[in-house]
Every structure is written in structure tokens, then in C-alpha cells.
Chains A and B, each alone.
Chain A
Amino acid sequence: MQTLEAILAEHPFFNGLEPRYMQIITGCASNVRFDAGSYIFREGEEATQFYILRQGKVALETMAAQHGPITIETIESGEVLGWSWLFAPYRWHFSARVVQQTRAIALDGKCLRAKGEADHDLGYELVKRVSHIMLERLQATRLQLLDMYDVRAGGRSR
């Protein structure tokens, strides 16, 4: 049974972080579990934690008045959920509804943020890594926006 630190150190998000930072991060981490149908966080709430999903599926949702909740994207095992904890106003922009029972490691973002302010080297590492995730999600979202299977957007016909 792997320790929390070992699991975190293996994850690409923390890859290459100095051991002293890994210790700090492990200190802010805990195992969590969510049942299907529950909400990990809701749009507008204060964003204090973020999650490394180990198993399961979470849907990022927003509300469209006459259509109810719309899923923008699903976050799945191995992926990082949440980055609003690092940037003002530190509020969630979407809700995260659990689709399949999910096990994750929760990290105290508020605490890490404070530590990052104090130690800018740590702060830089956090911002670098979160930016990278945002970049990948942005690229993926842009592809989604393109509606690329539509022939008018360059989709194939056969």
C-alpha cells in the first residue's frame, strides 16, 4: 500500500519537485472519496481545495436556465480537478458533479497558496504546473469549440 507521498510524487503534476516541497504538499494532502451524484464543489463557492483523481469520473457543469445542468467536460482518473484556488477571486466557476464513485487526493489549496506567497520558488512551481494544465485544457476546449466533426468545420464525409 503506497504512502500518500509516494503516490503524489509519482503523479506528473508534482514531477520534479524538490523533496522539501513534496513534504509540504503531502502535509496538505488527504485521501477522499465521493459518491456518485454528489457534488464536490458548486459554482460560486469559495475554492479552497483541488483534487488529483485516482479513480472515477467527475463532470464539470454549469446551469443553463431552461435546460438544467450542462456538462462542459468530464475529468477522469489521473487528472487534476480545480485551479480556481490559485487565482483571485478564489471561487469555483463551475460545479463538479460526481458521475461515478470517485476516489481522490484532496490538497489544501488555500494553505499551499499562502506557502507559495511566502516562498516564491514554491509559488513559481505551483503556478507553472497549474498553467500547464490550463494550457492543455484550453487546447482541448478550443478543439471542442471548433465542432470539428461538422463538415462545415472541416469534418470528413466518409
Chain B
Amino acid sequence: MNQTTSTLSDPMVPKLYRVQRLRHEIPDTFTLELAPEEVGDIPPFATGQFNMLYVFGVGEIPISISGDPAMRNPLVHTTRAVGTVSKAMRELQVGDVIGVRGPFGTHWPIEQAVGKDVVIVAGGIGLAPLRSVMYRITAQREQYGKVVLLYGARTPSDILYRRELAHWRAHFDLDVHVTVDRATGTWRGSVGVVTRLISRSPFDPLNTVAFVCGPEIMMRFTAAELEKRGVAAEHIYVSMERNMKCAVGMCGHCQYGPHFVCKDGPVFQYSHVQQMLLKAEI
């Protein structure tokens, strides 16, 4: 069935992809690797963008792309299984077909960070959308100044992408700090919220671009801490999450003040959303 013309003109029709691999990461989080059914390239994506993934007969949800933009096939998505669709997605088998629409949204402006220090602050699943940034930065490490990755997780068993964190720490000129809210077992690392790592981190606040992703409250406090450290609000970027149905700015669900998170976001310059982050129920 030739869907190409329809999908070009109608952004509501998914393309078919096949599950190549489903990896269980940490307790409620898994990663899907998808290969396209149709011959032809996976559309290029920028770090921070998302796709709408459809499970037959169940529904569709937005999930950030967490793979390497330079290696588009397979398409990689990491998500938590917390709702009907994500739980059904976790039950997919290798070879199952899934619908994909996208990529949508704004991206982490890595191009703004060239020649500057880069501070990446991730909380929980927030590391997933930022992993693409890490791939880009490590691929062109010489283009950036100091690179710092601060990652906060709930407990040691909730640390996502452990192997990659160790790999980045070991093989690249990066500062990687992981902290947990609650220590368990034999954890010998930092204990405390991720915002506490900011004051101790070695970067030049006047020449830094920061990318922050995690629960809204974590992003709010992290951005405030970065500002306290001297990073300008215009140089801090956050990734917002809102209810999405269409992902193309027409269903109205993802509105955040005057912004549509699906097309004006999900990545926003902190200075544009600073006031709204302080307001309840916006």
C-alpha cells in the first residue's frame, strides 16, 4: 500500500516500523530499536526532537528520540512504562510492527555551544532525550570547551544507561557526576539532589550553554541554581512535557501559555518560560 504521498500531505498518518530490539533498562524503563518497513531513509532528526509512536489498537504517545542522529537506523526510543500505551509497548516482541509519526519539535541547540562550555543536567528519564546530545558532543569533542554531565536518579538501581555513563567517563574528556536521592546497598557515589552538583562543577558560567531535562520541578530548581552560578537565562535550555494528541499544533492539548510544546518546544530557551515555570497549572 503506497502511503508515501498521503504521509507527505497528511501528518496524522503513521509510517510503519518494525521492532528490532526491546531492551529492559531499569525497573520501569525500556528502549525500543526500530527499523523502517518501507525502503528509504529514516527522516533525519535533531537531538531533542520526538516521534509519536503508535501501538496497534491501543494508542499513540510522544517519545523523545534518544539515539545518535548520525546513525539513524535503527530509530531508538527510551521511555517509562507508566500508562496504557507505554505498558502495551513494553510487551511488544521483536518483529512486531509499530506506527511512527515525526520527527517533531524543536531541538537542543548544540550549535550555540560550539566553543563554549557545555553543562548537561539530567534527572531520571530526562537522560534519554539528552543522550543524543552526548553522542553529538563526543563525536566532535574538540568543538566544545569543558563538558559536564550531571545526572540525578532516584536510587542506584534507577540509574539509566549505566554502561554508557561509564564509557563516556572513561573515554572522553568529560566530567560525569551521578547522584542519587536515596542511597541503597553499597552505593559509594554522591547522595543528594542533582542541583547540589552544580555549585561544585568546573565550568565558566559566562561562557556556558546548559541543557536541562527532567521533571519540571527539577528543571526549575536546576535552572535557578545555574542562574545563581552566573549562567544567563538565555543560555539555559529546558525540555517541557505536555499532553499531546496531534503533535502538529492543531489539537490544542500541548499549549503552555502561548506556546505549543509540540512545535514551539519541547526544547525552550529558559528565559522564554521562566515566568510560566513559576506559575501553577499553566
B80 CB within 8 Å of chain A? yes
A-B interface contact total, Cβ < 8 Å: 94
A155 (CB) vs chain B CBs: closest residue: B215
Complex contact A156–B125 (CB within 8 A): yes
Apart from A73-B191, A74-B179, 10 more pairs, CB < 8 Å: A76-B190, A77-B200, A78-B200, A143-B217, A147-B154, A149-B123, A149-B154, A156-B80, A158-B61, A158-B63
* B217 and A154 form a contact (CB under 8 A): yes
Interfacial chain B residues near A70, Cβ < 8 Å: 183
- Contacting B193 at CB < 8 Å: which of A77, A140, A158? A140
Considering only residues 68-87 of chain A, those with a C-beta below 8 Å from chain B are 70-74, 76-79
Whether B217 pairs with A149 at a CB distance below 8 angstroms is no
Shortest distance between the CB of A153 and any CB in chain B (Å): 8
With A72-B191, A74-B191 as given contacts, are A156 and B126 in contact (CB-CB < 8 Å)? yes
Interface of A is mostly: mixed
- CA–CA, A151 to B123, complex, Å? 12
B88 to chain A, nearest CB (A): 14
Contacts of B187 in A (CB 8 A): 71
Nearest 4 A/B pairs, CB to CB: A149-B124, A71-B183, A143-B193, A158-B79
A99 at the binding interface (Cβ < 8 Å): yes
Q: Does B47 contact A (CB under 8 A)?
A: no
- Beta-carbon contacts under 8 Å, B170-217 to A: 179, 181-183, 187-193, 195-196, 199-200, 214-217
Q: Is A15 an interface residue (CB 8 A)?
A: no
Residue numbers in A under 8 Å from B125 (CB-CB): 149, 155-158
Residues of chain B within 8 A (CB-CB) of A154 are 215-217
Which residues of B in the span 18-53 have a Cβ within 8 Å of any Cβ on A? 50
Our pick among A72, A78, A156 for the contact of B215 (Cβ within 8 Å) is A156
Interface mask (B120-163 → A, CB under 8 Å = 1, otherwise 0): 00011110100000000000000000000000111000100000
Residues of chain B whose beta carbon lies under 8 Å from any beta carbon of chain A: 50, 61-64, 78-80, 82-83, 86, 123-126, 128, 152-154, 158, 179, 181-183, 187-193, 195-196, 199-200, 214-218, 221, 241
Measured between alpha carbons, how far is A73 from B183 in the docked complex, in Å? 8
- B190, B199, B241: the one contacting A74 at CB < 8 Å is B190
Which residues of chain A (111-139) have a CB below 8 Å from chain B? Answer: 139
Residue of A77, A144, A158 touching B62 (CB-CB under 8 A): A158
Would B82 and A157 count as touching, CB distance under 8 A? yes
Q: B80's closest neighbor in chain A, by CB?
A: A157
20 contacts across the A-B interface (CB closer than 8 A): A70-B183, A71-B187, A71-B191, A74-B192, A77-B200, A143-B193, A143-B218, A144-B181, A148-B217, A149-B124, A149-B152, A149-B218, A150-B154, A155-B124, A157-B80, A157-B82, A157-B86, A158-B61, A158-B63, A158-B128
Contacts of A72 in B (CB 8 A): 191
Determine the chain A residues whose CB is within 8 A of the CB of B128 once the complex forms: 158
Q: Interface residue count for A (Cβ, 8 Å)?
A: 28
Assembly CA distance A139 to B199 (angstroms): 14
A70 to B83, CA, bound (A): 33
- Indicate whether A151 sits within 8 Å of B82 (C-beta atoms), given known contacts A157-B125, A158-B241: yes
Within 8 Å CB of B79, what residues of A? 157-158
Q: Give bound CA distance, A148 to B155, whole Å.
A: 12
Whether, in the assembled complex, A59 has its beta carbon less than 8 Å from a beta carbon of chain B, the answer is: yes
In the assembled complex, which residues on chain B have CB atoms less than 8 Å from the CB atom of A157?
79-80, 82-83, 86, 125, 241
Which residue of the partner chain A has the closest CB to B81? A157
Given known A-B contacts A148-B217, A154-B215, A156-B215, A73 and B192 have beta carbons under 8 A apart: yes
| Assembled-state Cα–Cα distance A73/B188 (Å) | 11
Nearest CB of A to B154, in Å = 4
- CB A67 to nearest CB in B, in angstroms, measures 9
